[in-house]
Amino acid sequence: MDYKDWAKVDLNTLPEIRTEMPGPQSRAYHERAARYMKGYSSQVKLFPVVFESGKGCVLTDVDGNRYIDFSSGIYVTGLGHCHPKISEAVAQYAGQLMNCHDFTTPIKMRLLEKLVSITNGDLNGVQFYDSGTTAVEAALRCARAATGKMEFVSFWRDFHGKTMGAVSCAIVDKTQGIRAPGFFLAPRPNCYRCPFKMQKETCNCYCADFLESVITNETSGQLAGIVLEPIQGWGGSVIPPDDFMPKLRKLCDKLGCLLIADEVLTCMGRTGKMFAMEHWDTIPDITTLGKGFGNGFPVTAMCVSDKHKESIEKISASSSYGGNPMACAAALASIEVIEEEQLCERSAHLGDVALKRMGEMMNRHKILGDVRGKGCLLALELVKDRTTKEPFEEAGRMVYQKAFAKGLAWVPAGHILRLSPPIIMEDDMLLKGFDIIEEAIIETEKHFSIS
């Protein structure tokens, strides 16, 4: 089934706004839930809508308002909400066999064979989990088991999860506390906001060279691995220069440590490739998968190279829910959908369309300091002044809220607005979403008297 059939919608009817935003029922439901639920994301705090259903690239709230989805459940439902093939696969095993711990099942065997066939290199050692954080924690333990060393270096503003080891790899918020012993952070290349204040034309990826100095001067010589997101998600869709990944690979080989690519956010076609590391022809020793891996069903994975895969046996790797039949069915169906519908190519095409439109918007609006992305992993960065690049947090919140009120569901990150539309989206719907964003930018510029 082609995505254009099951997810087809009359774009003239979208967005559909029936009430004030958020609507009265959304407010009532949220107020009741918020008596008990604490720790909401910034998305919900800025716009507490209550969603009731979704189909394809459209979300509907409890008041009947319909939104174009530029969030994908924060990078999760890349194949659209309730893709028939995936929903049917989950439903089959919900009625057949929900869980049998880590025993082999036919659907798990099929997923293992399919997953190994699409990963690059020899990432043939696999274990399944139910959250990205758990997969990252397993990758850290596996690296320690494989090398006999204990320390890790990761990068500023990467995000790896919310448990102790994952948080220690990426303190993105002071409220998360301190890093555990043996974890070190290094500057990460961000050519728009270079940590070394260098010009892009003369930088030659100094961050990669400086990393060796960090390792030499801060670690005790017990480096098990270098951990990173291929492209930053929470940090604002920041893409490294093309020579960064190959330099990391060479450095890891030189030091005898493992390269760990956290692809929880970037896998399954999100960036226009099945895995983001393919953009730089770089093969990690361990990779973690999640989010779009099951298109909304909680299933993640850790994949380890042949050389180190036996180390998985040393870390008590199994989990209660990892690799259950429903999860395996969702993941296998998701991979098959991406292949059958050529959605990596679709994602790359949508990225080209989006970047062209974002560039045009940047030419018209001084408030936009930078626009960037690969495939359907995109960002708009708002600044008070293009010369000083001072972040414009207040404008970021306002543009986000105004666009949401106009019927665009998307992702904020302070002054950086993140976009992750489903990779099945039609060109016209994508462009309509950008129309809404530009309307919100114009209104925000008027509010702050920016001309």
Q: Which CATH number do you get for residue 166?
A: 3.40.640.10
Tokens of 26: 């959304």
Residue 61 in domain: no
- Distance (Å, whole) CA 236 – CA 417: 7
Which residues partner with 262 through β-bridges?
A: 288
* 3-state percent helix, strand, coil for the chain, nearest multiple of 5: 40, 15, 40
Taken in order 68, 73, 76, 79, the sign of the CA dihedral is negative
Pairing of strands 416-419, 411-413: antiparallel
Residue 5: its pLDDT value, please?
Answer: 84
pLDDT tier at 177, thresholds 50, 70, 90: low
Section 70-92 average pLDDT: 97
Each residue of 293-314: pLDDT tens digit?
999 999 999 999 999 999 999 9
For the record, the structure tokens of 252 come out as: 């890891």
Structural domain boundaries, residue 224? 85-340
What does the alpha-carbon distance between residue 55 and residue 60 come to, in Å, rounded to a whole number?
9
E strands in 130-245: 151-155, 183-186, 223-228
Is residue 394 assigned to a domain? no
Beta bridge partners of 201: none
Which pLDDT score is estimated for 278?
Answer: 98
Reported as a single tens digit per residue, the pLDDT across 364-418 is 999 999 999 999 999 999 999 999 999 999 999 999 999 999 999 999 868 999 9
Q: Is the pLDDT of residue 175 over 80?
A: no
Interatomic CA distance for residues 196 and 186, integer angstroms: 12
Return the pLDDT at 172: 64
Buried b (16+ CB within 10 A) or exposed e, 76-100: bbbbbbbbebbbebbeebeeeeeee
Q: What 3-state DSSP class applies to 361?
A: helix
pLDDT at 174 over 70: no
Dihedral angle, C-alpha 212, 213, 216, 220, nearest 10 °: -90
Is residue 416 situated within a structural domain?
A: no
Count structural domains, the chain: 1
Would 50 be classed as within a structural domain? no
In a domain, 240, yes or no: yes
Q: Looking at residue 208, what is its pLDDT?
A: 85
Which pLDDT score is estimated for 204? 64
Gap between the Cα atoms of 414 and 207, Å rounded: 25
Kindly report, residue by residue over 192-232, the tens digit of the pLDDT. 999 888 776 666 678 888 999 999 999 999 999 999 999 99
Neighbours of 216 (CB within 10 A): 10
**Minimal CA–CA distance to 238: which of 374, 398, 420?**
374
Q: What is the pLDDT of residue 207?
A: 87
pLDDT score of 1 more than 60: no
- The percent of residues in the chain predicted with pLDDT above 90, rounded, is 90
- Tell me the C-alpha distance between 22 and 10, whole Å: 23
3 state DSSP class of 205? coil
Query: DSSP secondary-structure letter at 241?
Result: P
Q: What does the pLDDT read at residue 117?
A: 97
Instruction: Give me the pLDDT at residue 198, please.
Output: 77
φ and ψ at residue 351, rounded to 5 degrees: -60, -40
Mean pLDDT across 343-365:
98
- 320 occurs within a structural domain: yes
Give the Cα separation of 301 and 275 in Å (integer): 13
pLDDT of residue 236: 94
* Sign of the alpha-carbon dihedral angle for 23, 378, 267, 186: negative
In a domain, 66, yes or no: no
Residue labelled with tokens 């989950």: 90
Nearest by Cα to 439 from 416, 408, 415: 408
Please, which residues have CB within 8 angstroms of residue 206's CB and are 6 or more apart in sequence? 196, 198
DSSP for 86-107 reads: HHHHHHHHHTT---BTB---HH
- Give the predicted TM-score (pTM) of the model: 0.96
If one counts every other C-beta atom within 10 angstroms of the C-beta of residue 213, the result is 10
Q: At residue 142, what is the residue type?
A: C
pLDDT band, very low/low/confident/very high, at 323 (cuts 50, 70, 90): very high
Whether the CB-CB separation of 252 and 284 falls below 8 Å is answered with no
Alpha-carbon gap, residue 199 to 183, rounded angstroms: 30
Compute the average pLDDT of residues 425-447: 98
Q: Is residue 164 part of a domain?
A: yes
Given a contact cutoff of 8 angstroms between Cβ atoms, the answer to whether 60 and 53 are in contact is yes
Instruction: Extract the tokens encoding 409.
Output: 């569901």
Give me the mean pLDDT over the 322-343 stretch. Answer: 97
Q: Which amino acid is at 420?
A: S
Instruction: Tell me which residue of 273, 295, 277 sits closest to 287, measured CA to CA.
Output: 277
Q: Which residues contact 137 (CB under 8 A, 6 or more apart)?
A: 161, 163, 165, 166
Instruction: List the structure tokens of 173.
Output: 């918020």
> Which has the closest alpha carbon to 49: 33, 36, 72, 38?
33
Q: What are the residues whose beta carbons fall under 8 Å from the beta carbon of 221, sequence distance 6 or more?
A: none
User: Residue for token digits 């924060």?
Assistant: 74
Average pLDDT of the segment spanning 80-95 = 98
